[in-house]
Chains A and B, each alone.
Chain A
Amino acid sequence: MFEAIVNALGGLTAGVANLHWSNPVMIGIGCLFLFLGIKKDVEPLLLVPIGFGAILTNIPLAGLMEHEGFLRTIYDMGISNELFPLLIFIGIGAMTDFGPLLENPKIFLLGAAGQFGIFLTIGLALFFGFDKLDAVAIGVIGACDGPTAIYVSSKYAPHLLGAISVAAYSYMSLVPIIQPPIMKLMTTEKERQINMSELSTTTPASKTTKIVFPVVVTLFGGLIAPMGLPLLGTIMLGNLMKESGVVSRLAKASENEIANVVTLFLGIAIGATMEGRAFLTSQTLMVLAFGFLAICLDTVCGVGFGKIMCWATGGKINPLIGAAGISAYPMAARVVQKEGLKYNKFNFLLMHAVGANTGGQVGSVIAAAIMLSVLKGMGVIP
């Protein structure tokens, strides 16, 4: 009888007995995410489910990430097969207005320059000894685009998925802190004061142009970089539904119900990959450091290209808008507007920055698509 009681009590203490030192640390990190999401309003839609997922997966013996466990089922349902980021992309497409970009298409080039950090970071990660595919997945943090980073890392570096997702979303929310010092450092006061409100080269786009645009981008981008067609096709499908106006129920469902449900599953499944023993490694710290560097390099390249465009147009383009060439939409555009107003209180850069920002959204997807197709061409991926 006594032995039976001892055995029964042993069952109740097994969870505590099997705690590895890394589990309480990760539970603490999960609680920190909850605090940041709930109290500080930092990306709450993602940090709350990610934080709670991290807590769940670090409680020993629950088996949530084992075969047929509840978190493993969600992970297999949409992360390991890349479905969730693609569904999110349909919602992003349905939310995005490419009008400001279509008004001034040359701003698209800033969306390309804003992705250069991806490729520079890949080079640096390779230099520091990362495996080829790991370096690629780390570099994609520089896309400043959570779903793209998750898509690439879940496909080619699933062991880094937790760290890459956390880095991507954390740095996206830190854009208002990361970008301004770089913008200031790279531009002169005179450049920051350039007023773009009288720019005469912008012409509005018709409704037909807005409807044809996603189809043309899908065909053109898909033929050049077919490996990235899932990314490009889903964002453009969402945008086509929005612009056509004939399937508003589907467009609204994509940007609301579907995006909400998928964000919940995506967040909790990412949190589930943050098991202490796998997450608390020097590699994770390196991923976080390279992710930060990638976003800094994106900003440097974007503003640098903005300076080139400023020079090429005889000083008509304010180089600050180059910082919006990343994909963090619409945060990067707001940062540009705020910084522009600091130096010229009559300067409204917002619409131009939104154009560059939406260019950055397409640019990040195109960059990832091109990268995947180049990798396939080089035989690095099947």
Chain B
Amino acid sequence: MDNLTFGLTLMVVGMGGTLVTLALLAVIMNVLKKIFPVQED
């Protein structure tokens, strides 16, 4: 694989993957807060 293809692939998949993963984690955190609200404590 040449450097240009490698660099572009890593940039697109890396940045996109990081953003999507953290966005999904943010959603999961909101769900967790709904399942385990503060009152429960």
Contacts and interface: CB of A to CB of B under 8 A. Distances in A.
A13 B29 CA distance: 65
Given A105-B30, A123-B7, A204-B38, A118 B25 contact: no
In this complex, the interface size class of chain B, counting residues with CB under 8 Å from chain A, is 20 to 34
B40 A208 contact: yes
In this complex, the interface size class of chain A, counting residues with CB under 8 Å from chain B, is 35 or more
Interface string B1-37: 1011011111101110111011111111110110011
B29 A105 contact: yes
A132 B11 contact: no
Given A112-B19, A367-B14, A371-B10, 5 more contacts: A109-B26, A119-B11, A126-B3, A221-B25, A366-B21
A108 B26 contact: yes
A205 interface: yes
Interface stretch (A38-46, A156-164, A179-187, A209-217): A209-217
A370 B21 CA distance: 9
A105 B26 contact: yes
Interface string A215-226: 011001100110
Contacts of B28: 216, 220
**Secondary structure of the B contact surface, majority rule:** helix
A362 interface: yes
A374 B22 contact: no
A176 to B, nearest CB: 25
A378 B7 contact: no
B11 to A, nearest CB: 5
B19 to A, nearest CB: 4
Interface of B: 1, 3-4, 6-11, 13-15, 17-19, 21-30, 32-33, 36-38, 40-41
B23 to A, nearest CB: 6
Contacts of B40: 206, 208
Given A102-B29, A363-B18, A119 B36 contact: no
A122 B21 contact: no
Contacts of B3: 126-127, 132
Contacts of B32: 205, 209, 212-213, 216
Contact of B8 (A106, A123, A203): A123
29 contacts: A105-B26, A105-B27, A105-B29, A105-B30, A109-B19, A109-B26, A122-B7, A126-B4, A127-B3, A132-B6, A135-B7, A203-B38, A206-B40, A206-B41, A208-B40, A212-B32, A212-B36, A220-B28, A224-B21, A225-B21, A366-B21, A366-B22, A367-B14, A370-B13, A370-B14, A374-B9, A375-B10, A378-B1, A378-B6
